[in-house]
Amino acid sequence: MVLLRVAQGDERAMEQCITKFGPLVWSIAKRHVQDHSSLEDIVQEAFTDLWKSAKRYNPAIATESTFVGLLARRRAIDFARKESRKPQLEPLPDADSLPHASIESSATLRCESEDVRAALKELPEETQQIFSLHFDEGMTHPEIVEKTGLPLGTVKTRLRRGLIDLRNKFRRLDSGQSPSNP
């Protein structure tokens, strides 16, 4: 695993990481930030975070791409929030850790690509549609409202509850159960 080698300070592994995960980090950053120069900054910061945080990576808790995605997401959302005029009392997490392997944690979500697809299919049709618009096509909430005709509150609620449902399904998958089991 390339992240484990990065954690050991292997510079060559870091090069491989950039090649392997660069497009993902770039895509995530693009979802949240329009300005090209800021985009580049975010990608560079995300990889700096990755170098510093790789020792926290635990393959038993998340896949490598999820771990990298988490770091990139934080950087991008942090930037977008700072750019917005909204009050920013919510936490803006920075480079930090996944729980250590030694800690029994409810955060464990080691789902592979096929698990994600399987769990998504278990969601209600209307939630799947909004997830597809938001996560796949990168639509903002107002864009989803315009596309679907749904009230903004409904869009937000479906996304939030959908994320919670999906997390619960991932947990069940992680414990070896079917995602649809209660």
Partner 1 sequence: MKNQDTSDRFEELEAGRILGDLVPSEIQDWKMLSANPSNQADLSLELAAAALDAEFLTSEDTVLPEELLKKLHNGISEFVKAENEDTGLPEELLKKFHNGISESENDVIVRPTRWQGLLASSKTAWSIAALFAVLFVAKSFVEKTPADPGGLMATAPEKAASSEARKTLISKAGDLIQSEFGGTENYNQMSGTVVWSDSLQEGYMSLTNLPANDPGAKQYQLWIVDPGRDEKPVDGGVFDISTSDGTAIIPIRNPLMVTNPKAFVITLEQSGGVVVSKQEIVVALAKTS
Shortest CA distance to 92 belongs to which of 103, 102, 84?
A: 84
Residue closer to partner 1 by CB (options 95, 125) is 95
Residue 176 near partner 1 by CB under 8 A: no
Q: Could you say which of 95, 118, 145, 150 contacts partner 1 (CB under 8 A)?
A: 95
Rg (CA), the chain: 17
Residue 52 binding partner 1, by CB under 8 A: yes
Q: Does 35 bind partner 1 (CB under 8 A)?
A: no
Residue 26 interacts with partner 1 (CB under 8 A): yes or no: yes
- CB 29 → partner 1: shortest distance, Å? 10
> Does residue 149 bind partner 1 (CB under 8 A)?
no
Closer to partner 1 at the Cβ: 5 or 73? 73
Q: How far is the CB of 34 from partner 1 (least distance, A)?
A: 15
Neighbours of 170 (CB within 10 A): 20
121 contacts partner 1 (rule: CB under 8 A): no
Name the minimum Å distance from CB 63 to partner 1. 7
99 binds partner 1 (CB under 8 A): yes
Of 2 and 109, the one with the shorter C-beta distance to partner 1 is: 109
56 and 67 Cβ atoms separated by less than 8 Å: no
Is 135 one of the binding residues for partner 1 (CB under 8 A)? yes
